[in-house]
Structure 1
Amino acid sequence: MTQAPKSQPELFDRQALAIHRTRHQPEALFLHDLARDEVEDRLTLVNRTFTKPAIVSPFANIWRNSFPEARIVPDEEVLDLTPGAHDLVIHAMGLHWANDPVGQLIQCRRALAEDGLLLAVMLGGRTLHELRSALAEAETRVTGGLSPRIVPMGEVRDLGGLLQRAGFSLPVADVVPLTAQYRDSLHLMQELRAMGEANALNQRLKHPSPRALFAETEAIYREHFALDNGKLPATFELVCLTGWSPSDSQQKPLRPGSAKMRLSEALKVPETKLPK
């Protein structure tokens, strides 16, 4: 008798993540504030009035004043959303912690009525690249190896592909880069804990790291990245994903060969045939 294949092990410890989030400090949630502002700006560019919004967010208070009529649900593995009940779904700053990001997006699409809009904001690939680099080099020097310390985050091109896999129409992915400055690397790591973004990888070390690791991390960080004012920069990359639930009324790409004019005619240039 053939055994069913084992499911892929989960990347994130969602219980640890939930505990980290309960310890957050509201004044440290500036990335969530920026994500909300970005969503509000993008909605002003959409010629549509949304009356049944839903927001997926670990921190509901960030969104209540801006979207008082919205249904706000936590970013659990199974989202508490009713199929077809919403014309707008905002997935805010949680996809980079999802064990199944495509599954999360599929759930969002199912929650949308026909021609409904998804706006998702998450952290992208260059986030904390300075800290990631310094920690990796320091750990190699101090312990002779590497351990999982910072969440792996997707590049914008790959994240845009998730929208297509989830069945969205007219998918768009773009990046909002920003840089914060910190007194030192310890200050940055303390800020990450205050954000609720501390290490929740399943394969993280379960014992304290040696002090020498953090001293070496500070030295390397400062050597490679320190600013003229003596502070350390930290990159945060917000990736914004936009997609629509499919509808017959949406624009469709033309079929190959259906153009009524040659490109050379449209550009008013002579057509050059390629050699056979």
Structure 2
Amino acid sequence: MTPTAASERTHLVFDRALVRRRLARAAWLGAEPFLLERAAEDMADRLAAVKRRFETAVDLGTPTDAVARALAGHAAVGHLMRAAPLAAGAPDVVADEEALPFAPGTLDLVVSALSLQMANDLPGVLAQVRRTLRPDGLFLAALLGGSSLTELRQAFAIAESETTGGISPRVAPFADVRDLGALLQRAGFALPVTDVDRVVVRYSSPFTLFSDLRRMGAANALAERRRVPLRRATLLRAAEVYAERFADPDGKVRATFEIVFLSGWAPHESQQKPLRPGSARMRLAEALGAKEVPLPPSGDERD
């Protein structure tokens, strides 16, 4: 099955055309870079710990050139190409993250920062990335995780229920870190690793947060969003609830961003492999220097 056919059968969570328009508007407004720069710097540090060089690399979908700048001249990275929609600036390859234009087994490294959380078919994207990698190639990505903007979700849920009598989707349902680890394995990556960087940002008011989200291209792009303008009363009530529930003593409000880092390798015979069950040469009790105590008989017996 082709990636396009697979995507057609996937439930559409995001309006991908609107995502691109949001990114273009963010670039026009002046993108807010602090989360992207944090993720890009972390990626550069992680690659510095890998004792090998990746000659052919692709930066997939990152909304700005933050990763490209962080990896410029990096000892581990040779030629790096940016592959992204035109809305993300001036990429080397114009491409959608859900339809990669690279032949199987042609890349040594694929990196991506704060883009793939907006994919409708993330399992399909991971499978495509896995196919593009040469044996022992590396995939390294940062996505917004499930706890991101939890304060904003709660504030809008309360405000809409009070002002409209119902709740509509406002904040994207980002994936949980445990689910992302399972998706790496499902896509065929070896040695999959996931970890989380939780960032709490303090704003002078909820409206400053709203402005930052627009400048990140992160405004509502859900396919099932309500297709009418947000009521002023709802917005003002959401800001009130946010300030009431999530303000510090100095009056500044908190916003939580969860950055989930993923890494996985295309399988290669040189990589470490788990031992076969029953192949251990030492019992656990011996290794710990402890006394082994047999378990009681199984069944319904009780003392």
**TM-score when scaled to structure 2?**
0.86
- Closer/same/farther in 2, CA of residues 126 and 251 from structure 1, 3 Å limit: same
Q: Distance in 2 between matches of 1:122 and 1:57?
A: 11
Q: How far does residue 60 in structure 1 lie from its aligned partner after superposition?
A: 4.5
Match of 1:71 in 2: 81
Match of 2:89 in 1: none
* Matching residue's letter, 1:227: D
Look up the SS of the partner of 2:211 in the other structure.
Answer: helix
Deviations 1:128-179 (A, max 9, x none): 0001111111111111111011100111111111101111001111001111
Match of 1:48 in 2: 52
**1:259 pairs with one of 265, 268, 280:** 280
Q: How far does residue 91 in structure 1 lie from its aligned partner after superposition?
A: 2.0
Match of 2:251 in 1: 230
Conserved 8 A contact 2:60-2:111: yes
Look up the SS of the partner of 1:28 in the other structure.
Answer: coil
Look up the SS of the partner of 1:224 in the other structure.
Answer: helix
Match of 1:34 in 2: 38
Structure 1 runs not aligned, ≥5 long: 1-5
Is the aligned partner of 1:122 residue 2:122? no
- Number of aligned residue pairs: 271
Deviations 1:186-226 (A, max 9, x none): 22112111111111111111111221111211121111110
Conserved 8 A contact 1:73-1:80: no
Q: How is 1:89-238 mapped onto 2 (pairs within 5 angstroms)? A: 89-238=110-259
- Closer/same/farther in 2, CA of residues 60 and 230 from structure 1, 3 Å limit: closer
Match of 1:3 in 2: none
Conserved 8 A contact 2:63-2:115: no
* Matching residue's letter, 1:35: A
Which structure is higher in RCO with an 8 Å CA cutoff and minimum separation 6? 1
Runs of 4+ in 1 over 6 A off after TM superposition: none
Structure 2 runs not aligned, ≥5 long: 1-7, 73-78, 85-95, 298-303
* Matching residue's letter, 1:22: A
* Matching residue's letter, 2:23: R
Match of 1:15 in 2: 17
Q: How far does residue 64 in structure 1 lie from its aligned partner after superposition?
A: 3.1
* Matching residue's letter, 2:240: A
* Matching residue's letter, 1:59: P
Q: How far does residue 27 in structure 1 lie from its aligned partner after superposition?
A: 4.4
* Matching residue's letter, 2:97: E
* Matching residue's letter, 1:63: V
Q: How far does residue 8 in structure 1 lie from its aligned partner after superposition?
A: 4.2
* Matching residue's letter, 2:147: R
Conserved 8 A contact 1:170-1:243: yes
Q: Distance in 2 between matches of 1:65 and 1:41?
A: 13
**1:62 pairs with one of 60, 66, 75:** 66
* Matching residue's letter, 1:81: F
Tell me the percent identity.
Answer: 45
Match of 2:91 in 1: none
Look up the SS of the partner of 1:181 in the other structure.
Answer: strand
